Amino acid sequence: MNHYETVFILNPVLSEDQVKETVKKYEDFLDSKGAKMINKENWGLKKLAYPIQHKKSGFYHLFEYQVDGEVIEPLELMFRRDERMMRFLTVKLDKHAVEWARKRVERKKQKA
């Protein structure tokens, strides 16, 4: 099983309930494929560096998880087909990135 990190941006016109429903849909998909969710973060509504689909902001979310590589393609296909999804990026983490992500989460918990 490999470590992955996915950041995605949802359309800003969605209500809070629609955003939660969309995020839950992808969490449930990963759970059904045997993924181990390591970290989930809601970064909230953020201004975009440049317009995407004529929108200047979007709801950012991050998933860090461990799953087999063949699950990534169907997940990204779901992202592409979802009209609420503006952008996404999935990255396979090497051992250094995994350690850095773990430290980042620990620092965030200490601040809270």
pLDDT tens sequence across 46-94? 999 999 999 999 999 999 999 999 999 999 999 999 999 999 999 999 9
- Helix or strand (DSSP H, E) at 9: strand 2-10
Q: Are 68 and 2 in contact (CB under 8 A)?
A: yes
What pLDDT score was predicted for residue 64? 95
Domain borders along the chain are 2-111
DSSP secondary-structure letter at 33? T
Question: Average pLDDT of the chain?
Answer: 94
CA distances from 111 to 21, 45, 62, 106, 107 (A): 28, 21, 19, 9, 6
Would you say residue 112 has pLDDT above 80?
no
Query: What integer pLDDT is reported at residue 105 of this predicted model?
Result: 84
Mean per-residue pLDDT for 9-35?
96
CATH topology for the 2-111 domain: Alpha-Beta Plaits (3.30.70)
